[in-house]
Amino acid sequence: MNILITGCSTGIGYFCAKELSKNGYRVLATCRYEKDVKRLKEEGLEVYKLDLRSSKSIKEALDWAVEKTDSKIDVLFNNGAYGQPGAVEDLSREVLKEQFETNVFGTQELTNMVLPYMRKKGYGRVVYNSSVLGIISMAYRGAYNASKYAIEGLCDTLRLELDKSGVDVVLIEPGPIRSDFRKNALMKFEQNIDIKKSVHVKIYEKTLERLKGKGDTPFTLGEDAVYDTLIKAITAKKPRARYRVTFPTKLFWFLKRVLSTKILDKILRSAG
C-alpha cells in the first residue's frame, strides 16, 4: 500500500510515517523545509519537499509521488497544518490567509490532484487530520477553528460526491496530542499578533505562559493514538466517516449534540 503523507517533519506526521514504514507500508513523506527532508532521508524514509502554500511545490511533490509509485497512490493522509493563536479581532487578512493557505487551500489542492489517480484505479482513501476544534470553537483560536471547520465541510461534501467511485473520505478528529504543536503556535503568536497593543493583553500574557509551558494539558495522548486510528481508517473494509481521538473530542461532540448554545458557550469559555 502506497501512502502519501503531508507534514512529516515532527509530531503526528513524523510518527505515522516512521511507524507505517516499519510495518511494511510504502510511505511517501513530505516536509516543508529542506533540513527536515535531509534528516528524514538519513533516517531511511522516502521524502520530498512540499510547501502547501505553493501550487508549484504541490505539483512537484505529487509528480515525484506518482513517479515513485507508478501512479498508484492508495492513501493520502492530509496531516500538514499549524495553529495560529490570537483573538479574531487581532487577526489581519494576511494572517488569516496564511492559515488557510496551509491548512485548507493547499491541502485541498493536493487532494484534488490526487483524486484522478485514485478514480482511475477505482480505489483510494483520503484521510484528513482535523481536530476537536473542527467540532467546537474555543476562544483565541479563531484562525485554526475556522480552518478546521472548513476542512470538515470540504470533506463532508467530497464524501457525498465520491459515492460509488471506490474512493473513501475520512476525518480523524484528535484532541490534545503530544507534539510540537504548541511550540509552532507560540512562534506564530509572537510573529503575527501585536500582543502589547491588544485589548486582550492580559489574556495573551496567560496564553504565552500556556504555550511556553512544558507539561501536557489534561487528557493529552501520544502520537500513537492517532497512528492507531489511522491504521483503522486505511484498513477497514468500510471506514467510518469520522474517528474521534481523545476524551475531550468525544466529550465535546456529545455536549454539542445535547446542550443549548448558551450552556455550551459557558463551558467552552471556562475550558479555554
Catalytic sites, residue numbers: 144
Match 485554526 to its residue by C-alpha cell: 144
Can you say whether residue 101 is alpha, beta or left, with left for phi > 0 and alpha for psi between -120 and 50 degrees?
Answer: alpha
Strand partners, 30: 48
Strand, helix or coil for residue 2: strand
Contact 62, 35 (CB under 8 A): no
Helices of type H across 162-260: 181-192, 201-212, 223-235, 247-258
Burial 183-218 (b: 16+ CB within 10 A, else e): ebbbebbeebbebeeeebeeebeebeeebeeeeeee
Which residues are paired to 69 by β-bridges? Answer: none
Please name which of 107, 95, 162, 175 lies closest in space to residue 135, comparing C-alpha atoms: 175
The x, y and z cell numbers of residue 44, run together, are 531511511
In single-letter form, the type of residue at position 220 comes to T
Residue type, 42: E
Q: How far apart are the first and last CA of the chain?
A: 40
What helix, strand, coil percent values describe the chain, rounded to 5?
55, 15, 30
Contact between 113 and 52 (Cβ < 8 Å):
no
